[in-house]
Chain A
Amino acid sequence: MAGMTVIVKTISRIMFPFVFLFGAYVIFHGHLTPGGGFPGGVIIAAAVAMLVLAYGLERVLKSTSFLQAEILDTLGSMAIALVCILGLIFGAYFLETVFPLGVLGQIFSGGNFLWLYIGVGIKVAAGILLILLAMLLWDRGESK
């Protein structure tokens, strides 16, 4: 698909790091403020979709490929399963709290909620980006 004019390209290139940073902030503070892994992953996927709309599919496929998104999706799922199985190895039952509880209100508190939310955030962002890329690649193969 073709890109847009010069003004749209410049503004979306400037705004992309800030939207990405906001999505990462929502993921990392999931156990202190409202939000968590699921809305944060959707924000990151929406930032990459903004780049696809502004620059065109060919230019974006040079930086990230279909295979890279698939690998990230699988790594997020395996991170969740690893944190769950650590409860079996070091404790008594599945999904037991392994990491220390800490002081209320800091980032490294609350047991294994932070690592679970990081895994879910990567997985949701890669999953929604995969759905968008699959539909766009089908459309490109159809019109040839």
Chain B
Amino acid sequence: MGKGRRALSLALVAIIAVTFIYSVNFTMPAFGTFPTREINGKVENSVGQLYLENAIWQTGAANVVTTVVWGYRGYDTLGESTVLFTAVIGVITVLRAVRRDE
């Protein structure tokens, strides 16, 4: 890999980094404002505010993030458990096939 190619890659990545930093800091809402949504022309807080208000009296758990992970978004966590199981089976199968090759 020659010197010219490495300098070209560095210049390209520098241009990408400057573009990203400019577009995130200056064209998005400022850091610290709660995310908002717009329904029928009226602007209000996003669905996280609804979860904060209703999570404690609907389930008796003190941790609101646990209620979101298993209560309101339970199907996503169930899918993630399946991905974990499948990855472990995949690793055992590939490494066992390598051992039987020799």
Given known contacts A34-B63, A113-B59, A123 and B91 CB-to-CB distance under 8 angstroms: no
* A138 close to B66 (CB less than 8 A): no
* A134 close to B95 (CB less than 8 A): yes
* A113 close to B95 (CB less than 8 A): no
| Interface window among B32-40, B46-54, B78-86 | B78-86
A49: Cβ under 8 A from any B Cβ: no
Contact string against A for B residues 53-72, beta-carbon threshold 8 Å, 1 for contact and 0 otherwise: 00010011111011101110
Interface size classification for chain A? 35 or more
Nearest opposing residue in chain B for A116, CB measure: B70
Write out the residue numbers on chain B whose beta carbons fall within 8 Å of the beta carbon of A84. 78
Binding site secondary structure of chain B: helix
Nearest opposing residue in chain B for A103, CB measure: B60
Contact string against A for B residues 17-28, beta-carbon threshold 8 Å, 1 for contact and 0 otherwise: 000000000000
Nearest opposing residue in chain A for B74, CB measure: A95
* A113 close to B91 (CB less than 8 A): no
Nearest opposing residue in chain A for B69, CB measure: A36
A135: Cβ under 8 A from any B Cβ: yes
* B99 close to A105 (CB less than 8 A): no
A94 vs B74: C-alpha distance in the bound complex, in angstroms?
Answer: 10
A97 vs B88: C-alpha distance in the bound complex, in angstroms?
Answer: 30
Nearest opposing residue in chain B for A101, CB measure: B60
* B60 close to A138 (CB less than 8 A): no
Write out the residue numbers on chain A whose beta carbons fall within 8 Å of the beta carbon of B67. 113
Given known contacts A30-B66, A104-B56, A131-B91, A120 and B81 CB-to-CB distance under 8 angstroms: yes
Given known contacts A33-B63, A109-B61, A138-B99, A123 and B69 CB-to-CB distance under 8 angstroms: no
Write out the residue numbers on chain B whose beta carbons fall within 8 Å of the beta carbon of A111. 59-61
A130: Cβ under 8 A from any B Cβ: yes
A17: Cβ under 8 A from any B Cβ: no
Please list the residues of chain B having a beta carbon within 8 angstroms of any beta carbon in chain A.
Answer: 56, 59-63, 65-67, 69-71, 74, 78, 81, 84-85, 87-88, 91-92, 95-96, 98-99, 102
